[in-house]
Amino acid sequence: MDVPSSWDALRKQARKLEAQLDEQMNLYRKLVSTKVSTKVDSQENDLESGIDRLLKQLQQVNMQMQDWVSSGGSEMVSHTLTRHQEILQDLTQEFYRLRSSLRAKQEHASLLEDFREFDRSRLDLEEGVDSTEHALLKEHAAISRSTGQMDSVISQAQATLGALVLQRSTFGGINSKLSNVSSRLPTVKKNEKSC
């Protein structure tokens, strides 16, 4: 990088670097918005290193401009320097934000890929046809289901038996009470026979 000797040369170099950074940042924004892969490719590396290099160069030019202003520049020159420093700060912050966003997307995609791989391996185990262990597990599950169904049927039968025994004792108690009443009251006996 040439060492400019005048304020105008420093401003031109700063504007040139800012324009290059703007162009690189636009490419990087597009990359970040469209990238879904977990792999870091050469285009991404090249863009990041190019942007990083340009940011360092712009910072050097800003430091040279600061030296120029410190040695007795006007207020207008100071204002111009402030503007270039703000542009550098904005570009640097945006670059770091985009890079962290890209890393987060890559990490998210990586986690999803790991989950899909885990899910695939689980399905392979569940659907494995030639797996003896898998066949035994399926058979055990079928036996457990059948045993549970038989227990349910037996429970229902026992509940029905209990209800029938209660019903029999209730009717037996009613019959004995009617017999007792009919032996004491003959009119009840006659009405009972006429029915």
pLDDT in tens, the chain (195 residues): 444 568 889 999 999 999 999 999 999 888 888 876 666 678 888 898 999 999 999 999 999 988 888 887 778 888 888 899 999 999 999 999 888 888 888 787 777 776 666 666 666 655 655 567 767 777 887 787 778 788 878 878 888 888 888 888 888 888 888 888 888 776 655 555 555
Predicted local confidence at residue 87, as pLDDT: 92
Closest C-alpha among 110, 97, 117, 94 to residue 36: 110
User: Are the CB atoms for 104 and 81 separated by under 8 Å?
Assistant: no
Alpha-carbon distance of 169 to 40, in angstroms, equals 83
Q: What is the 3-state secondary structure (H, E, C) of 159-178?
A: HHHHHHHHHHHHHHHHHHHH
Q: Which residues contact 88 (CB under 8 A, 6 or more apart)?
A: 55, 58, 59, 62
Q: Is the pTM of this model over 0.85?
A: no
Closest C-alpha among 97, 95, 103 to residue 53: 95
Alpha-carbon distance of 150 to 183, in angstroms, equals 49
DSSP per residue, 72-102: T--HHHHHHHHHHHHHHHHHHHHHHHHHHHH
User: Are the CB atoms for 65 and 74 separated by under 8 Å?
Assistant: no
Q: Per-domain residue ranges for the chain? A: 1-24+51-124
Write out the two tokens for 26: 């636009």
